[in-house]
Structure 1
Amino acid sequence: MKKQLGMLLFFVLVIAIYGLVNLYIYKQSGPIFAIGNPVGKFLKIIFIVLVISYPAGRLFERLIPSEITNYIIKAGSIWLGAMVYLCLFLLFIHLIRLTIPLLGQINICIHADKSLVHKKIVIATYIVTAIMLLGGYINARHPKVNRIPLITHKNIEGYPTLRVGAASDIHLGVLMSNGRLKQFVNMMNSLNPDIILLAGDIFDEDIGFVVKNDMGKLLSELKAPLGVYAVTGNHEYIGGVEPAVEYLEKHGVKVLRDSAIVVKGIFNLVGREDRQAKMIGGIDRKPLSDLTRDLDTNKLTILLDHQPFRLSEAVENAIDLQISGHTHHGQLFPFNLITGAIFEVSKGLKRIDGTTIYVSNGYGTWGPPIRVGNKPEIILFEIVEGK
């Protein structure tokens, strides 16, 4: 009951913030909605439809899934990105308009029609936002491969170079459907990895769309001689963790849930439940020390943990390589500044004593199918023995 109340309060808070941000955009966009009577009314209708599209689409997705619902979600997701930048730009303009008179500056609008100048500025803001969204959309659909050479002092028997293909945050669903998944599978397989590791948030939300479109068939085309392994992320729990795990296992992806294995006797692989397992799913997450207690520390040890919190745990438990995701490195600038403040590592590589931490930007997107200030990625770790 307490958990359900907490989730309800969180949902209400999110909707309230969403509503207030859109109300602010509407108020500051007044000149656009006043462009001629019929045109202004039409633009108001478009605005309202876009605002309600995403929450309505996600609701309909669960109640009455259909192709129309998918298009509603797609339109709404684009608006989420527009909402971010319109709010930031319009707030900046608003502050300038308030500040200039306070500084005693001569407002250039004094000798012009202020309403006309304001209208032009607002229109320009929408145009700049549209250009940014287009660029971010194109960027999100062109992932890169990051090759990370690593040296280990542990024995990797039979592998002069251990090639570990990794990815996180694929977010399979309406916004990351079969074509994008096929691209991912082809890119990953082209790297000829010895093993493939997926660090959580493989699904976006409910797996209904994934099942309906038989995306598991594509997942099963991932090829690596040592296997394909994954851990849960918070989105597996949001959408229903048990069906998600069952679907992955059915299609050749072994999910490690607070467990450790020795891969073909070569190296240790540890997979943790997502840190929100308790809050969302009521599942207790085991301490990392419980998972590593019986491992042979003379072997290379790789940890999959979706969210990069408490990195000191990995160091304390003799982890050689931790692979995480979750942050998307903010996905949209300037949110990378926030993730950089919250997480010890928001993106990329960091070495702490004998432990290497890698936090991926992710392959897919959440919310808007847009990336500004970072690129989607697949990682290939090329691990060799050193003296």
Structure 2
Amino acid sequence: MPLFFVIFFTVYTALNSYVFIRGWQVIGNYPILKIIYLLIFIIVAYGYVFAKILYKILPPLLYDIWLGAGAIWFALLVYFILTLLLIDIIRFIDSKFIFLPELFRSGDSNVKRYTAVAVIFIVSVIVFLGNLNKRNIDVRTLELMLPKGQGKLNELNIVMASDIHLSPIDGERLLKRIIDKMNSLNPDIILLAGDIVDDKAEILEARGIGKSFKLLKPRYGVYSINGNHEFINGVESSVRYGESLGIKFIRDSFILIDSSFYLIGREDSAMPQFTGKQRKNLEEIVKNISNHYPRILLDHTPFKLEQAVNNNIDLQLSGHTHHGQIWPANIITNIIYEVSWGYKKKGNTHFYVSSGAGTWGPPVRIGSRSEIVNIKIKFVEN
């Protein structure tokens, strides 16, 4: 992990430097403004990191504001970079083919200022619209037929969500909207595919974030697995926090629900990085499971889908990818993952990778949508 953070901060600092320098050039010869600009830029650009590091000594309100400002900056940074790169590309092409008015090549300070104002306005509008977009939580419906085996159920109404990422940034208001939508679907069982939290349990508990989970009363209960953010924020305390809200965690184990289907839960693949321990192989988890009942698997990160196929999993539910969350990151997730978002059938195994109900970092979605998944299963005779 130390190497990861070194690489992350090196790249992050380089990207911020690119944006900072362009702003510095616009200010001109105003020493006081340059000092103010430098201080504000550092405070905002590294606000998310500073808040996480100093959370024990910061007043709650200051922590929440600094965290939120730093998170929004992540989205602003992406589109500042894309916009400035586009400007640089246009200027480079113009240097070869001369198509822009002479005014844009003159170095006039007013042109720089007007351009800076235009860039700030455009980026701010994009991020604002992205914030509005993330507030709309879609309900995706998936109808599947699974082998009944010796199970006694003919139908099962599953409501699934992943990547809620509870923190003071979105907090209880987001969760209440998610819970209300879940309850409106009259689920028999609710399955959470990891990353419930995006902050430490003590911070969430102190602010009363999570209490809406107690409003869920599905017939068979609420089950979850750990995602990478449960490990990032302290897996044992995150699990205790979830359990206090009525959520049952399945950790490299399984449970037989109503003598009708197995629910299998894996620890996230990030487990070794944070605990030094390896998660169990799927083969090891299912080796004592009867072949006479359908198998539903929760695995947060949708890597190595063939493992589910090879172990006779009927349905695997995952999250983690957010479908990129902010364009053009979805291009990257489409390259990395066999399924970045949505449904796929491979062999006899059905897969669904959710784009997530919440957001990580900036409360912004551009080129993706927040969702809850309603999976209506009919169990059929083999």
TM-score, scaled relative to structure 2: 0.93
Q: 1:83: how far off?
A: 0.5
* Aligned-partner Cα distance in 1 for 2:211–2:150: 32
Note closer, same or farther for the CA distance 1:282–1:186 as it changes in structure 2 (3 Å cut).
same
Residue identity opposite 1:348 in structure 2: G
Deviations 1:216-266 (A, max 9, x none): 432222221011110001111111001111222222111000001111111
Match of 1:227 among 213, 221, 240: 221
Pick one of 154, 158, 164 that aligns with 1:164.
158
Does residue 189 (structure 1) correspond to residue 173 (structure 2)? The answer is: no
Mean Cα deviation higher: 110-119 or 62-71: 110-119
- The match for 1:122 among 116, 125, 136 is 116
| Preserved contact between residue 32 and residue 40 of structure 1 (Cα < 8 Å) | no
Picking from 284, 308, 332, the partner of 2:278 is: 284
Gaps of 5+ in 1: 1-6
- Give the Cα separation in 2 of the matches to 1:265 and 1:63: 50
Aligned residue for 2:169? 175
SS at match of 2:49: helix
Unaligned runs of 5+ in 2: none
Task: Indicate the SS of the match to 2:97.
Answer: coil
Determine the structure 1 residue equivalent to 2:98: 105
Q: Which residue identity is paired with 2:286?
A: T
Change (3 A) 1:351 1:111: closer
Report the more deviating stretch, 44-53 or 327-336: 44-53
Q: Cα 1:295–1:379, aligned 2, differ >3 Å: closer, same or farther?
A: same
Q: Which residue of 2 aligns with 1:81?
A: 75
Amino acid of the structure 2 residue aligned with 1:97: R
Cα distance in 2 for partners of 1:13, 1:21 equals 12
Q: Any idea what the Cα deviations from partners look like across 1:47-94, whole Å, max 9, x if unmatched? A: 333223222122222443521111111111111110111011101211
Kindly indicate whether residue 281 of structure 2 is the aligned counterpart of residue 311 of structure 1.
no
Of the candidates 179, 204, 209, which is equivalent to residue 198 of structure 2? 204
- 1:355 is aligned to 2:359: no
After TM superposition, give the deviation of residue 346 of structure 1 in Å.
0.5
Task: Specify the code of the residue in structure 2 equivalent to 1:261.
Answer: I
**How far is 1:10 from its partner?**
2.1
Secondary structure of 2:302's partner? coil
**Is the Cα–Cα contact under 8 Å of residues 150 and 292 in structure 2 kept in the other structure?**
no
1:381 aligned residue (369, 375, 378): 375
Which range moved further: 277-286 or 262-271?
277-286
Q: Map 1:227-306; keep pairs closer than 5 Å.
A: 227-306=221-300
Q: Is the 8 A contact 2:48 2:67 kept in 1?
A: yes
Contact 1:168 1:201 in 2 (8 A): yes
CA distance in 1 between partners of 2:316 and 2:271 (Å): 19
- 1:199–1:231: 8 Å Cα contact kept in structure 2? yes
Q: Shift of the alpha carbon at 1:369?
A: 0.9
Tell me the residue number matched to 1:27.
Answer: 21
**Percent identity of equivalent pairs:** 37
Instruction: Return 155-164 or 168-177, whichever deviates more.
Output: 155-164
Q: Distance in 1 between matches of 2:192 and 2:59?
A: 28
Q: TM-score, normalised by structure 1?
A: 0.92
Q: Deviation of residue 153 (structure 1)? A: 3.0
What CA distance in whole angstroms lies between the structure 2 residues aligned with 1:105 and 1:210?
57
Aligned match of 1:12 in 6, 9, 12?
Answer: 6
**Aligned partner letter, 1:108:** P
Go from structure 1 to structure 2 and tell me whether the alpha carbon gap of 1:35 and 1:207 turns closer, same or farther (over 3 Å shift). farther
- Contact 1:31/1:122 (CA < 8 Å) preserved in 2? no
